Structure 1
Amino acid sequence: MTTYDAVLLSSFGGPEGQDDVIPFLRNVTAGRGVPDERLEEVAHHYRHFGGVSPINSQNRALKAALEAELSKRGIDLPVYWGNRNWAPYFKDVVAEAAANGHTRLLGLVTSAYTSYSGVGQYREDFEKALLDNGLTDTASIDRIREYFDHPGFVMPLVEGVKSGVKTLTDAGYGSSDIRILFSTHSIPTAAAKASGPEFGEHGAYEAQHLAVAEKIRELAAPGVAWSLVYQSRSGDPRVPWLEPDINDFITGLADRGEAKAVVVVPFGFVSDHMEVLWDLDNEAKATAEEAGLGFVRVPTPGVHPAFVAGLVDLIEERLNDTPAEERPHLTDLGPWPDHETVGTYRDPAQPGSAPAAPTAPTPPSETVEATA
């Protein structure tokens, strides 16, 4: 068994009020020279909701749910919550954990897929948090594997798709009238390829989404057509990003007479944060209405009991050093491997003890900023 003394719930972060919006967006785009005027074009998404991102309250709820599930199972691990772009920042949370004697942390990242933003950048965040606190040689951070095809992540989406299709069929649409649109965050095509070129032109990022979409459709609505679409692209318009955009695709479906209604599945996200509430519930829904298509949006896993239980299963998987062949997965791509340890933990009771052994190598990840 592997010993950890705390869980580090790791996320993107978001503003907590109108005065936070531009400083938050400056953090997100740091190093890219994006002027405040450009940031204001994105800021109106947050200002529409009073400058408050829902991601923070969602992470507080997830933290509480994880604590309850860990306690229920008799697992004595405190849960800390840290963010990349807004308070509580990783640097401060890692310092707090160390001050409490917790120096062997297990990171639980709120990103289910392989990408630079979901893998490589979090590793950099963890490295910097240890370095800034002078803990590189005395603390370590591992992280649970990508869980894109873990039953705990997939089954709440299956439940949602079943419900969404039923809502439309109850409204009079036939199964041939419906198209399931599996939506995820677009990233630069070069970044997608770098996430694992051995998986195809658009790397592991696209391959994972395609595999999960097919599994969800198979389990929830085997007679209904589906498509993978992308949302929330940003950055230089001259840079190629993954397509098709969900709004363009919805318009095209209507123009070609290929569907009369859509079930939108935001399976690239774990909670109903800004890119779901604005980009889907606002923009994509409006596009569908303008095109005369019925529209249903499926909930993200959020704090669904199966998702929370699945995350704790993943924590136990690391605590118990569960062999790969015994790790649950619903596609042929899984189970995704573990990652190398960040930092070097040495047991204070055994001075001079050997560093913790690294786990399997991190899968390739892109080297381009993926989101804005």
Structure 2
Amino acid sequence: METLTPDKILIVDDEPEAIENCRRILSRHRYQCVGEADSNRALAVIERERPQVLLTDLRMPGLDGIGLLQAAKRIDPAITVVLLTAYASIQTAVASMRHGAFDYLAKPFTGQELRTVVQRALGQERGVASVRAEVSRAPVTGLMERGTAAQEGVLIGNSAATQMVRDVVERVAATEAALLISGEAGTGKEYLARTIHARCVRRSKPFVSVGCIAGDDATLDAQVFGVAGSSGSQPGLLEMARGGTLYLNEVGGLSPRLQAKIARALKECRGRRVGEERYYDLDLRVMAASTQDLQACCDRREFREDLYWHLNVVPVLLRPLRERVDDIDALAHWILRTCQVGHRDDHLMWQNFTPRARRRLRHYPWPGNLRELWSVIEHAAVLADGSLIDLTHLPDRLRTAR
């Protein structure tokens, strides 16, 4: 019987704890992980090991993430690079895409988010067709692989802000209304969109997420609208969303040209593949998300008003976790239970938090919001060697926070 060689992943970060955290998450899925804390030495590792995927921190002493990306591509043009950054913004994302990055992941990230981006990176390396086939097969994909409980995560808690979001979900789920979901990074915008999709009449059809931040405008155009060519046509994400929901993630990152093209497609309910004259009909619900104030972007003429008003039929604002202190206990316990279901270790099935650990979770400001909370709980659940998660099991930044 032939033994499959595991995919090789190089993790580069000047913080050894970050390398070990990524290695711990990915090794469970039989990836062969190699770590390197020195970005200059990483080049020799790429030359020697020839990893399929490079995960690299953006800000490092010596050679930074962009510099390592460029050097890695010169050594092995086929390598797929994902940037890890605690300083995520549209500007840094666009810069990384322009230099050839496959994607970027904002720190802190959950284990599921890391696994998902690695799976996508390896899928791209094996061919775009396989990635598209995977999207078209599954009505709900990506971050929602944990199941229905994860879809409900953004709605957990009893604060006024959370109750307001639950009320919106109940009102709009059965409609065809477009939604514009606003909030800081990590507040659960895509979770909310998937939750609404899972409750609407289109739930048996695909939920297709479009990452609107891309350095190459032509590539994003082809991905969204499809491409016609002599060797055959490739459907775009608009066609893949037929009958379901199209989710425009970080819609403020679209170029003015694509803003105009998407606005027209949504208005006319039809699209056209690049290089083709024939139109195809659109039958979809549209949701969008942004960390920016798109109304202010319209005022500065950075975002088209016609697209803004098409998307902003039902506006939803997700509050940052620091404004949802009353929800943190419930969220922490829900995340812990969800993490426990995903692990085989028996001791993880009986864990709980000590009073001082709960106090620290409530008083920490959570700049990374729900994404950071999930990462911290998953980290603590693995490190705890008994039934209780204490302050000592939390990351250093929480233990030392004032």
Q: Same fold (TM over 0.5)?
A: no
Under a length normalisation based on structure 1, what TM-score does the superposition of the two structures give? 0.32
Q: Specify which structure has the higher proportion of helix.
A: 2
Q: Which has the higher contact order (CA 8 A, sep 6+)?
A: 1
